[in-house]
Every structure is written in structure tokens, then in C-alpha cells.
Structure 1
Amino acid sequence: MLSCKALVASSSDYLDGQLRFTEGLSVRAHLAMCGNCRRFVRQLRLTLRVLQQMPEPLVSDLDAVAAQLADAAKKPD
């Protein structure tokens, strides 16, 4: 049977539908018996839904903005 640690490691692939059929069966079998992992996967699903509903950032190149802010903070007044 799949361990809790192994389930956590493969949970993103499971939710994305990227596991092979037998791996998915192992995950579902583990979830049927482990309440803690069911709760973990439920929370992960909720987190993914919330992130998908967040608006796109207004600035497309956040790394450039962060670099500009860092440069501005280094300059003396």
C-alpha cells in the first residue's frame, strides 16, 4: 500500500491527472483508508481552486519590477 509520504509526493500529479492508471488506483485506495490524506488532498484542491480564481497580476514582468525596487532602495536619498 502507498505510504502517506508517497501520497503527498504524488498528490499534485494525481490532481492534474498525470499519474498512470495503476498509480492513480494506489492513490485512490490509500485515500479510501486514510482520513488525514483525504483532508490533505481536499485542502490542496481548495488551494488550487482559489489560486485559479485569483486575478492575473497587473505587471507582467514582476522580476524586473522587483529589481527596480531593489535598485531604488540601494540609492542614497
Structure 2
Amino acid sequence: MLTCKEQVARASDYLDGQLNFRQRLIQRHHLLFCPKCRRFIRQMRLLQATLRKLPEPPVAGGEELAARLAAEHNRNR
């Protein structure tokens, strides 16, 4: 049986679908009997969904980089 500590350590891989069939089955078996870990997984899913909805931050120095690339492109013509 998987411990809560092991379940938490593999939670990201579980949510990202990176576990094989046997590992997923072990995770699900633990979640079936552990309400605290079920709550943790629900919170992780909510966090993932919230982060996906946030806008991408602008790239620091993006305008400067674009100007340098354009200048390099013009020099190579």
C-alpha cells in the first residue's frame, strides 16, 4: 500500500498522466481509502486549472531582444 508521503511525492506525475498503468492503479487505490490525499489531489487540480487561466507574463527584455534580432537580420542581408 502506498503511504501518504509517497502519494504526495508522485502527485504531480499522477496529475500530468506520467505514471504507467500499475503506478496509476496504486495511486487510485490509495486515493480510494484516503480522504486527506483525495482532498490534496482536488486542491492540486484546482491549482493547475487556476494557473492555466493566468495570462503569460511578458518576457523581460523582449523588446530589446526583438530589436537586436532585427538588427542582426538586417546586417546579414
RMSD between superposed Cα atoms in Å: 1.1
Number of equivalent positions: 61
For residues 1-22 of structure 1, the C-alpha deviation after alignment (integer angstroms, 9 at most, x for no partner) is 0000000000000000000110
- Partner Cα distance (1:61, 1:45) in 2: 29
Which 5+ residue runs of structure 2 have no aligned equivalent? 62-77
- AA at the equivalent of 1:51: L
- How do 1:31-70 and structure 2 match up within 5 A? 31-58=31-58, 60-61=59-60
Moved over 2 A (4+): none
- Provide, for residues 47-72 of structure 1, a one-character-per-residue CA deviation record: whole Å limited to 9, x for no partner: 000000000112x138xxxxxxxxxx
Describe the SS at the equivalent of 1:55.
Answer: coil
Instruction: Name structure 1 gaps, 5 residues minimum.
Output: 63-77
Please, what TM-score do these two structures have when normalized by structure 1?
A: 0.76
Larger Rg: 2
Matching residue's letter, 2:60: D
